[in-house]
C-alpha cells in the first residue's frame, strides 16, 4: 500500500517531536453548510488530523453528545453521499490534512462496499474507522479498503489483552486508536498512568503510531496524554461545544464557528506543549 496523508502527517510530527491533535466532528452537524465551514476551519485552529463522523441512527459506541450530533445531522438531511461530497468540498482548499471517516458498517453496506471505497478514495478520504467490524470480518470492508488505498484504523481498548492484540493489529494501518476508557464516548476521564502503560504495551506489538481518545476534554488532559501517545483524539468536547452554541431549534448561531475554533486552538496548544514539558 502506498503512503497516505495519514502516514505523512504522523511521520512529520514524529520528526517535530510532538503528538498529533486528532479532532472529531459529525458530518452535517448542525447543518451541511455549517459543517463544511467547521471542517474547513479545523486545520487553521490546530487540528493535525480530522475524523469525520458518518451519522447513523443506532450509534452504539457513542455517548450522548455524539449521538445527539448524529441525530441533528440526520434531521438536517445528511446522507453518506453528502458526507463524501463534504470531503470533496474540503479537498478543494486543503490537499494535505488527513481525513478519516468514522462510523458504523450498516450505512456503508447499504451504499455498497465497492462503490463506497472507490468514491471515498476519489473524494479525498484517507482512512476509515468502523467501530462494529471486528478483525474476523476483515473481508467485509477492511481488506477492500486497504486494496483501494485507504488506511483502516482499528480500535484497541483496555480489555484488548496480549492474546487478542495481534489479531486487532494484523490489518491495521495509518495509526492505532486506543480507547482510553471502557464504555461509550465522552463519559469518563482517562487515567494518564494507565494510558501510558497501555500505549507502551501496544507499541511493543506494532511500529504504527498510537492515538488515544475517549474522555479527553481539556488542553491539560491533551498535554498529559500527549506525553506518551503519538496522537490525542478529542471528539465529545468539540461536539458539545457545537451543541452549546446552537439556538433553541438546534440551528447554528454566530457563535458556532468560534466555539469550536477557540476550543481546538486551546487543545492544540496543549499537545504542542506535551513533549516540550516532558523533555524539560
Q: Looking at residues 234-258, what average pLDDT do you find?
A: 96
Assess whether pLDDT exceeds 50 at residue 219.
Answer: yes
Q: Looking at residues 126-155, what average pLDDT do you find?
A: 96
Q: What is the pLDDT of residue 149?
A: 97
What are phi and psi for residue 42, nearest 5 degrees? -60, -45
Assess whether pLDDT exceeds 60 at residue 277.
Answer: no
Q: Looking at residues 188-195, what average pLDDT do you find?
A: 75
Q: What is the pLDDT of residue 188?
A: 56
More confident residue, 231 or 158: 231
**Confidence band for 191, pLDDT divided at 50, 70 and 90:** confident
Q: Looking at residues 190-201, what average pLDDT do you find?
A: 86
Would strands 231-234 and 210-213 be described as parallel, antiparallel, or unpaired?
Answer: parallel
What are phi and psi for residue 158, nearest 5 degrees? -60, -20
Question: Quick check: is 62 catalytic?
Answer: yes
Q: In this structure, are residues 91 and 124 in contact, taking their beta carbons and an 8 Å threshold?
A: yes
Q: Looking at residues 241-251, what average pLDDT do you find?
A: 97
Q: If 0-12 CB within 10 Å is exposed, 13-18 middle and 19+ buried, where does residue 102 land?
A: buried
What are phi and psi for residue 23, nearest 5 degrees? -110, 140
Record the cell numbers describing residue 42, joined without a space: 479545523
Assess whether pLDDT exceeds 80 at residue 247.
Answer: yes
To the nearest whole percent, how much of the chain has pLDDT over 90? 82
Q: Looking at residues 165-176, what average pLDDT do you find?
A: 95
- Residue 272 has a CB neighbour count (10 Å cut-off) of 18
The single residue of 51, 126, 227, 273 carrying the catalytic annotation is 51
Q: What is the pLDDT of residue 183?
A: 54
**Confidence band for 58, pLDDT divided at 50, 70 and 90:** confident
Residue partners of 153: CB distance under 8 A and separation at least 6: 100, 127, 128, 129, 172, 173, 174, 175, 176, 177
pTM above 0.85, yes or no: yes
Q: If 0-12 CB within 10 Å is exposed, 13-18 middle and 19+ buried, where does residue 227 land?
A: buried
Question: Average pLDDT, whole number, for the chain?
Answer: 92
Q: What is the pLDDT of residue 280?
A: 46
Measured between alpha carbons, how far is 54 from 80 in angstroms, rounded to an integer?
Answer: 7
Q: Looking at residues 73-89, what average pLDDT do you find?
A: 97
Question: Quick check: is 48 catalytic?
Answer: no
Q: What is the pLDDT of residue 182?
A: 63
Q: Looking at residues 146-150, what average pLDDT do you find?
A: 97
Assess whether pLDDT exceeds 70 at residue 185.
Answer: no
User: What's the topology of domain 5-279?
Assistant: TIM Barrel (3.20.20)
The single residue of 29, 31, 48, 62 carrying the catalytic annotation is 62
- Helix, strand, or coil (residue 160): coil
Q: What is the pLDDT of residue 60?
A: 76
Residue partners of 214: CB distance under 8 A and separation at least 6: 179, 180, 181, 185, 186, 188, 190, 233
* Predicted confidence (pLDDT) per residue in 202-218, tens digit: 999 999 999 999 888 99
Q: What is the pLDDT of residue 189?
A: 61
Amino acid at each position: 500500500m502506498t503512503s497516505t496523508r495519514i502516514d505523512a502527517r504522523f511521520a512529520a510530527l514524529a520528526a517535530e517531536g510532538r503528538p498529533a491533535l486528532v479532532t472529531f466532528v459529525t458530518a452535517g452537524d448542525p447543518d451541511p453548510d455549517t459543517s463544511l465551514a467547521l471542517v474547513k476551519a479545523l486545520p487553521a485552529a490546530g487540528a493535525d488530523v480530522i475524523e469525520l463522523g458518518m451519522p447513523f441512527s443506532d450509534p452504539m459506541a457513542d455517548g450522548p453528545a455524539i449521538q445527539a450530533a448524529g441525530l441533528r445531522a440526520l434531521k438536517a438531511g445528511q446522507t453518506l453521499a453528502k458526507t463524501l461530497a463534504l470531503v470533496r468540498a474540503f479537498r478543494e482548499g486543503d490537499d494535505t490534512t488527513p481525513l478519516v471517516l468514522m462510523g458504523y458498517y450498516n450505512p456503508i453496506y447499504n451504499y455498497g462496499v465497492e462503490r463506497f471505497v472507490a468514491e471515498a478514495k476519489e473524494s479525498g478520504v484517507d482512512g476509515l474507522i468502523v467501530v462494529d467490524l471486528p478483525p474476523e470480518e476483515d473481508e467485509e470492508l477492511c481488506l477492500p479498503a486497504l486494496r483501494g488505498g485507504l488506511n483502516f484504523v482499528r480500535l484497541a481498548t483496555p480489555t484488548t489483552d496480549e492474546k487478542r492484540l495481534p489479531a486487532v493489529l494484523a490489518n491495521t494501518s495509518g495509526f492505532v486508536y486506543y480507547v482510553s476508557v471502557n464504555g461509550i464516548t465522552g463519559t469518563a476521564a482517562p487515567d494518564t498512568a494507565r494510558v501510558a502503560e497501555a500505549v507502551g504495551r501496544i507499541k511493543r506489538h506494532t511500529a504504527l503510531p498510537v492515538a488515544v481518545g475517549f474522555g479527553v476534554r481539556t488542553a491539560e488532559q491533551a498535554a498529559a496524554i500527549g506525553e506518551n501517545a503519538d496522537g490525542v483524539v478529542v471528539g465529545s468536547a468539540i461536539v458539545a461545544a457545537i451543541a452549546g452554541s446552537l439556538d433553541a431549534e438546534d440551528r447554528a448561531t454566530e457563535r458556532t464557528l468560534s466555539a469550536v475554533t477557540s476550543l481546538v486552538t486551546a487543545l492544540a496548544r496543549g499537545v504542542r506543549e506535551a513533549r516540550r514539558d516532558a523533555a524539560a
